[in-house]
Amino acid sequence: MGLYANGFSDASSFDSGIPLFLRERMKDSMTEKEVKQAAIRLLKEGKSHQDVFQALSLEISKSKLLEFIRHIPSRRSVLKYDSLNGLVILILLSMVLVVFWATEMFPMLVWSGLALVVVLRRMYKYYLWISGLSFFYILSFLLIILFGKSTTLNTLSFVALGLNALAVILLSYLNMKMLPRVKLIKERRRIEGVDRIVQRVNFE
């Protein structure tokens, strides 16, 4: 299926922003990998999630396409919030150092390093996972604070706890602001003389 077979309402205006080699490829069947590459490229060029979804929705399963592009920020969001992502990287890097000096506990060090890698690679899909699982991380530090015998340990633990809490807040904020909100809207349509309930994907 090609671009025009997808029912895009203004193919010519959309086409004008797509590189020639990509337009030629979209006239024929595309592999899942090619569709994902096309989606990433179009979003980086400033196309909206709605336009990209409409253009590519017949190339692969709609559910696969939706699950993929909903975790890719728009070009506008990247330009606006990527500096905040850099701040989170600095916070997590500081937390890794503090955790090492405060506890020397390997599991906590691994968790801090893993969170740092996820943010460094801009793996936005996992930002909420990090925020959610950080509850157990914070709980661990609270136990260290309560039962630690060293004054230095307690002081550094408070610092690490504060850094972790700040990172959780910022990651949750970035997830909310950078990634699109998706609504699945059910509509009644008459198809081949029969009333059917269809589901429409709407990006906000």
The domain limits of the chain are 4-70, 77-178
What is the distance between the alpha carbons of residues 105 and 101, in angstroms, rounded to a whole number?
9
pLDDT at 69: 92
Residue 166: count other Cβ atoms within 10 Å of its Cβ. 16
pLDDT at 83: 93
pTM: 0.71
Using CB atoms within 10 A of its CB, is residue 176 exposed (0-12), middle (13-18) or buried (19+)? exposed
95-147, pLDDT tens digit by residue? 888 777 766 666 667 777 888 899 999 999 899 888 888 777 777 767 766 77
pLDDT at 26: 54
Where residue 182 falls (left for φ over 0; alpha for ψ -120 to 50; beta otherwise) is beta
Q: Which residues of the chain have pLDDT under 70?
A: 1-29, 102-108, 141, 144-145, 148-154, 157
Residue 200: which of 191, 190, 187, 188 has the closest Cα?
187
Backbone angles phi and psi of 53, in degrees to 5: -65, -45
